[in-house]
Amino acid sequence: KMAEKILKEEVENLKPLKFKAIAFTGMGGSGIVGDYVKSFLQDVSRTPIIVVKDLYLPTWIGKDWLVVAVSYSGNTSETLSAVKEALSKEAYVAAVSSGGKLLELMDKERLPYVKVGGGYAPRSALPLLLYASLKLLDELGLSIPMNQVQESLDVLGGVKEAEDEGKSIAEALKGYTPIIVSDVRYEALAWRFKSELNENAKIVAKCETVPESMHNDVEGYEEASSKFKALLLSAHDDTVYTKVLEKFIEELLKEKGFKPYRLELKGKGRLAKLMHGAHVAGFTSLYLAEKRKVEPVKVELIARYRKFLEEALP
């Protein structure tokens, strides 16, 4: 319901913009938003979208680019640095945040933004940040397929099913290092799954995408079955990607002694499948944290890094 509500929020400082390409900038639980938007729109929009997870922007970003800064806290050092550089390059800048220095800057410069509610861990705010970003892009003139947005909201309503799937996956992953495998269309989800397991369950995990992993990672399957558990994220559609995932990789893993777990993503559109997977990933990581008796909310090492970076930056 909060995600639905955010689609009705007004864009502050809204002004018509003409841009040729979009760069999302953000880190961690905020940075994944750009990955999701890119994955969702890359087959339906003619406007190029890139994601920058860095202190600095590529040299070729400048005038006629729209830089969308996503920072839940509004105080992410890397994102603020990238925004300041974008302004110096005379790029258009817009933002999604709950407040902080980022929205102070947006108000000062009279730049467009959507404000979301605070009080969550950034990684828990994915729906808010994602739908706010889509709202922002739509208002700035990028055509968004709203029927797919609505379907994704409907999928998010299936809490019990996602929770049950998360429990099952957590049980399967216990005691193993997970390898999350997706096709390239769902790389953002594979990364989201990995990050949720890292941050909430406090475990090492890796992710691989098809077809690239079939040219390198696959050779590592020979002697890995005792340490790793493969989680296959399947769009379960009639594409060569799904055929490779379900007919080749899954069978190969079984042949090499793995017991792969296949998660079939729900929904028709890509955004629905991405959000269903994110929902399951959240529950999986929380139940695995419970099994490991660790506190999912604490991110002491991330906080330590942030403090170091703030002191290291000029």
pLDDT single digits (tens) 239-281: 999 999 999 999 999 999 899 999 999 999 999 999 999 999 9
Task: Tell whether 17 is covered by a domain.
Answer: yes
187 shares its domain with 134: no
134 shares its domain with 163: no
Task: Tell whether 305 is covered by a domain.
Answer: no
Going by pLDDT thresholds of 50, 70 and 90, the confidence category of residue 314 is confident
14's CB contacts (< 8 A; 6+ apart) are 112, 139, 140
Going by pLDDT thresholds of 50, 70 and 90, the confidence category of residue 39 is very high
The three-state secondary structure class of 144 is coil
Going by pLDDT thresholds of 50, 70 and 90, the confidence category of residue 169 is very high
Task: Tell whether 73 is covered by a domain.
Answer: yes
- The whole-chain average pLDDT of the chain stands at 95
Which percentage of the chain shows pLDDT scores above 70?
A: 100
Task: Tell whether 74 is covered by a domain.
Answer: yes
Task: Tell whether 314 is covered by a domain.
Answer: no
Q: What is the pLDDT of residue 203?
A: 98
40 shares its domain with 125: yes
284 shares its domain with 163: yes
Give dist(CA 216, CA 181) in Å, integer: 13
8 shares its domain with 129: yes
pTM given for the model: 0.95
Q: What is the pLDDT of residue 4?
A: 86
132 shares its domain with 203: no
Task: Tell whether 150 is covered by a domain.
Answer: no
172 shares its domain with 241: yes
Answer with the one of 111, 144, 177 that is the final residue of a domain: 144
Number of domains present in the structure of the chain? 2
Q: What is the pLDDT of residue 222?
A: 82
Q: What is the pLDDT of residue 119?
A: 86
Q: What is the pLDDT of residue 122?
A: 82
Q: What is the CA radius of gyration of the chain?
A: 20
CATH number of the domain to which 41 belongs: 3.40.50.10490
Query: Do 100 and 71 contact (CB within 8 A), yes or no?
Result: yes
Residue 97 has pLDDT above 80, yes or no: yes
24 shares its domain with 140: yes
pLDDT (mean) for 25-43: 97
Q: Where are the beta strands (DSSP E) in the chain?
A: 21-25, 49-52, 65-71, 92-97, 113-115, 177-183, 206-210, 228-234, 261-264
Residue 112: CB atoms within 10 Å: 20
Answer with the one of 96, 112, 144 that is the final residue of a domain: 144
Q: What is the pLDDT of residue 223?
A: 76
85 shares its domain with 164: no
Q: What is the pLDDT of residue 226?
A: 84
194 shares its domain with 135: no
Q: Which residue is associated with the tokens 């069978």?
A: 251
Answer with the one of 100, 115, 144 that is the final residue of a domain: 144
Give dist(CA 70, CA 88) in Å, integer: 18
138 shares its domain with 164: no
Task: Tell whether 252 is covered by a domain.
Answer: yes
Task: Tell whether 312 is covered by a domain.
Answer: no
Residue 181's domain comprises: 159-292
105 shares its domain with 179: no
